[in-house]
Amino acid sequence: MRLLRSSTAVAGLAAAAALALHADVAALVLLALWCGLALLAIRRDATGEGALGGSGGPWIRVALALALAWRAPGGPAAAFAAALLLEIAVARLTALAAARTGATLPGPDLHSLILAGGRAADIVAALAFAALILWPDRLPLIASALAGLTAMGAIARASLALAVVRGIRDEA
């Protein structure tokens, strides 16, 4: 599965580079490849054939958001990049809280566009970035929606972790 993980990451990073360089056709092809490899990783994880974490996690989405901010600087792109960084910070803090309390909390493997999105968050992000390329006049709306969904997912993860940690503390 290491090859699948590395090729998924390479496809995602190449899509980010193509997006930043205004190579729209290449970006669309690479986003489709990234999406397909992420789907393959999800299917392999569901059947037990592969290890978790095949899609590259939120780091690929951060690279895409930074490429978007490079390509179209402004509030919505910056808000989306900030929301992704918030999601990563909350995931790391959640993992730290789980280690300190010995609890099972949603950790960095739970990619989120609101917690129910799970691993499909990368696929939703790829589709949104494809929409941004195809309809650049809709960029503020789509980027703002992605930023809001990502921030809500981070807040939901933090709230869930706080509730579990408080429950463990109250039991002790």
Domain ranges in the chain?
A: 2-171
Going by pLDDT thresholds of 50, 70 and 90, the confidence category of residue 3 is very low
The answer to whether the predicted template modeling score (pTM) of the entire model surpasses 0.85 is no
Residues whose CB is less than 8 angstroms from the CB of residue 144 and which lie 6 or more positions away in sequence, other chains included: 76, 79, 80
What is residue 113's predicted lDDT score, i.e. its pLDDT? Answer: 47
Question: What is the spatial distance between Cα 110 and Cα 22, in angstroms, rounded to a whole number?
Answer: 31
Q: With contact defined as beta carbons under 8 Å apart, do 88 and 62 qualify?
A: yes
Mean per-residue pLDDT for 90-115? Answer: 67
Share of the chain above pLDDT 70, in %: 74
Q: Is the dihedral of CA 13, 18, 24, 25 positive or negative?
A: negative
